[in-house]
Structures are given as C-alpha cells and as structure tokens.
Amino acid sequence: MKIIITTVSSTDDGERLSKTLVQNGYSPCVNMIRNVKSIYMWRGNINEDEEVMLLIKTEKPEEVKKFIIEKHPYETPEIIDLEATIPESSYKEWFRGYFEASNR
C-alpha cells in the first residue's frame, strides 16, 4: 500500500478531491486532517497558511499523482509518496477488495 499526502487550502477542495478519488477507484479511503498549519517558502517569501492534509491510501500511486497534478487547485501541489504496510488482516482484505471490485 502507498499513502500519498497532499494539502489543500479548504475543506471544500479536500472533500471534492477525496470524493472523486474514492468514486473513481483510486482510493478506498482518504483521511482529511483539518487545521494543519503550514510554514513554507514560496517565491522568496515565508508563508503561513491553515491547510487541510489529505492522506490518500492506494495501490495506484502513479494514477493518484497524475490526478493530483491535473485536478489540484494549487499551481505546485505537494505530493509525498510513502510506503505503508497493513498489518491487520480484516482491513487488508477490505482494502484489497476495493480494488478488486469492478476491476478497479
């Protein structure tokens, strides 16, 4: 399993991206973490923003990355790709079943 992390500026953007990812077979579950404070350098200035972090669980990381690049509202979206292990068998079965259903 991979976890793709990205951030967005609003709950509305997070919900829109998350629902589309789940509906289109990219992820069985996207966690939205609100009230993430990001401090970052952008175009020579230090910025501070409240963001929403998305944790996108997937077996299709390349498709998710392409989707984020195409649909994300930011000019340069954050995309972090983490390897993860599912140690619990019933969750693993549910996760794999999502991708097996309807040839996802």
Helices 11-23 & 61-71 angle (0-180, nearest 10): 140
Residue 24 pLDDT > 70, yes or no?
Answer: yes
Phi and psi, residue 68, nearest 5°: -60, -45
Q: How far apart are CA 40 and CA 15, in angstroms?
A: 23
Residue 103 pLDDT > 80, yes or no?
Answer: no
The strand order across the sheet containing 29-42 reads 29-42, 45-58, 2-8, 80-83
Residue 104 pLDDT > 80, yes or no?
Answer: no
Residue 55: give its domain's CATH number: 3.30.70.120
For 30-41, how does the pLDDT look when each residue is reduced to its tens digit (9 = 90+)? 999 999 999 999
| Model pLDDT, residue 33 | 98
| Model pLDDT, residue 102 | 56
The domain of 56 spans: 2-103
Q: Look at the chain and report how many structural domains it folds into.
A: 1
For 60-94, how does the pLDDT look when each residue is reduced to its tens digit (9 = 90+)? 999 999 999 999 999 999 999 999 999 999 999 99
